Amino acid sequence: MADQPLLTVESLYTRFKRGTDTIYAVNGVSFSVSAGEVVGVVGESGSGKSVTMMSLLGLVRGRATVDVKRATFKKWELPRLTPRQLEDIRGREIGVIFQDPMTSLNPVMRVGDQVMEAMLAHQYATPRAAFNRTLDLLREVGIPDAVQRFRNYPHEFSGGMRQRIMIAMAIACEPDLLIADEPTTALDVTVQMQILALLQELRERRHMSIVIITHDFGVATNFCDRILVMYAGRIVESAAVAEFVAQPAHPYTIGLRSSILEIGSRGRPLSPIPGLPPTVTEPPKNCSFAPRCPYAIDRCREELPELRVLSPGHEVACHRAEEVISLAG
Ligand SMILES: Nc1ncnc2c1ncn2[C@@H]1O[C@H](COP(=O)(O)OP(=O)(O)OP(=O)(O)O)[C@@H](O)[C@H]1O
Ligand code: SF4
Ligand SMILES: [Mg+2]
């Protein structure tokens, strides 16, 4: 179960220059991850899930500006680290499974060498020890015939097996935190469940914290201890899973939950929340969800709802959360 905070982030802002526009991708995000905790970050495409985590790791691409008041991981203040120090922490202390598999796997390098490389780059093990450990890791993530498979190239594996190799690389140096960006999205449902079961098992065996980024609310509720819901670059709700399922308080989360419940009832079509998420081209001054919100009032269009404590461990950024709960209930 959750105990000590491992990662603490306060007031993270990331914006990009795109042509003459500025994209306000992350707008004042604060959260923490405790040791051994599994935190899900959910939200629609473009809500800022990947940019939030990649900003902390120094991995945002393009013309980006990152501002953060505080980002502490274990003993390190991440914004104070040099690119070299950050690179060393990434991979050794924080394992990352990237959303784009091509970022992680080199198509022209044998997979065994790639897993070994993950250890050698951080001087984590001698070549001999790294070789033996690679075989152990391939077995640990469920790849049969590890000795033979060591020599294969990524294209010789199925999508699920490639995902297992990426997990092996990410955990090779025994990180305390694993960031998994959409680790199951491209996989079919059965393989998706197998990968989640593997992550669950690794988490228990290694007492590793995991941040799993997903647009799938069902994956998050089944797998995580706590969920952060993002909308237009902000966290709009944060709570333990049980609280989310029992009493979601933000109209956006309520909409996400309803669409999950409907998938569960056979034959009925999924009814997503009507409307589209905005591309944020100016700093948010009001509730970005207002154009899609059935509970919106004038105040919502005039005043930014701050993330506030609704009950212990449950935070929400909605002016009307208390009324919404009773109206939606
Ligand atoms: N390198 C970049 N340059 C310009 N804009 C970017 C860049 N990376 C991300 N963005 C923009 O930042 C916003 C947040 O993107 P992000 O990738 O974090 O979304 P996401 O929630 O991870 O979505 P998805 O579910 O599609 O992965 C989007 O509007 C995106 O277009
Ligand atoms: S602040 Fe207003 S518009 Fe935004 S989610 Fe709450 S009720 Fe809806
Ligand atoms: Mg993403």
Q: Report the chain's mean pLDDT, rounded to a whole number.
A: 90
Give the Cα separation of 147 and 289 in Å (integer): 52
pTM: 0.93
Other CB atoms closer than 10 Å to residue 186's CB: what's the count? 14
Q: How far is the CA of 124 from the centre of ligand 1 (A)?
A: 33
- pLDDT band of 4, cuts 50, 70, 90: low
Which residue did the predictor score with more confidence, 155 or 101? 155
Residue 270 has what pLDDT?
A: 40
Give the Cα separation of 260 and 277 in Å (integer): 18
Answer yes or no: are the C-beta atoms of 304 and 287 closer than 8 Å. yes
Sort strands 234-240 and 226-231 into parallel, antiparallel or unpaired: antiparallel
Residue 176 has what pLDDT?
A: 95
Residue of 236, 287, 301, 322 with the most ligand 2 atoms within 8 Å of its CB, for mutation:
287
Give the Cα separation of 117 and 295 in Å (integer): 53
Residue-wise pLDDT tens digits, 84-136 = 999 999 989 999 998 876 667 899 999 999 999 999 998 889 999 999 999 99
Angle at 198 between CA 192 and CA 204, to 5 degrees: 140
pLDDT exceeds cutoff 90 at 327: no
Query: Residue 69, Cα to own-chain centre: how many angstroms?
Result: 21
Query: Residue 32, Cα to own-chain centre: how many angstroms?
Result: 13
Residue 265 has what pLDDT?
A: 42
Give the Cα separation of 281 and 29 in Å (integer): 17
316 CB near ligand 2 (under 6 Å):
no
287 CB near ligand 2 (under 6 Å):
yes
251 CB near ligand 2 (under 6 Å):
yes
User: What's the mean pLDDT in 11-39?
Assistant: 95
Secondary structure (DSSP) of 65-114: EEEEEEEEETTEEGGGS-HHHHHHHHHHTEEEE-SSHHHH--TTS-HHHH
User: What's the mean pLDDT in 303-319?
Assistant: 97
Residue 99 has what pLDDT?
A: 81
Residues with C-beta less than 6 Å from any ligand 1 atom: 16, 18, 23, 25, 43, 45-51, 61-62, 99, 215, 279
For the record, the structure tokens of 86 come out as 């950050």
Residue-wise pLDDT tens digits, 52-95 = 999 999 999 889 999 999 999 999 999 999 999 999 999 899 99
Q: How far is the CA of 204 from the centre of ligand 2 (A)?
A: 38
pLDDT exceeds cutoff 60 at 264: no
Which domains occur in the chain, in start order? 5-93+179-200+212-328 (3.40.50.300), 98-172 (no CATH)
